[in-house]
Amino acid sequence: MTNKWMIDANDAVLLLIDHQSGLFQLVRDIEYSALRNNVITLAKVAQIAKIPTITTASVPDGPNGPIIPEIHQSNPDAVHVPRSGPINAWDHRPFVEAIESTKRKTLLIAGTLTSICMAFPALSALAAGYKVFCIVDASGNWSQMATDITIARVTQAGAMPTDTFAVMSELMNTWNRPEAMDFAKVMVDHVVPAYGALMESYDTAQKSVK
């Protein structure tokens, strides 16, 4: 039985919206390096878990700047949908068509800026009948107050706020899978570096038993 409060990896699509070098410079509610790291983590995890990933950028040849290159480097299967004009990515029909083509109804949304690039498509997707998770720590905003207001807004509309590590854990689901160590590497490299020490101590202990 499907749990409506949890992410179903077989029904999920990752949307990375407007993670652009220019917009990153406006972010004040999360450290630049942490935001960038979390976005890269999601791209890598989606690639491992075979989650369809769609990116888009707002006026990339203008002051907002290009999408950070690590997203598509980490996830070469990600589909990029160019757009020019609409601030709300959901108002750009090719973007919605890319989502519809996956036949999936659970959207994992992160965007910079949180109040706009993440929130507007989330609200539109909810109105269109999608299940929406907003990944807060892979989105950045110009103030903590703006983020707090935005989370209240999308939550009241029916979206579920979450974080990068939680998304990773839900998509991984179990250690009893062939890609477990691939997930573990992302975990150590990007999320919980100290977990690497735990794995080393476990490996040493296992070898001593043998």
Catalytic residues: 117
- Cβ atoms of residues 87 and 120 within 8 Å: yes
- Cβ atoms of residues 139 and 118 within 8 Å: yes
My answer on whether omega of the bond before 15 falls inside 30° of 0, hence cis, is no
Q: Tokens in use for 4? A: 């409506």
161 Cβ contact partners less than 8 Å away, ≥ 6 residues apart: 133, 134, 136, 151, 154, 155
| Amino acid symbol at 202 | Y
Beta bridge partners, 202, equal none
63 Cβ contact partners less than 8 Å away, ≥ 6 residues apart: 22
Helix (H, G, I), strand (E, B) or coil at 104: coil
Alpha-carbon distance of 144 to 146, in angstroms, equals 5
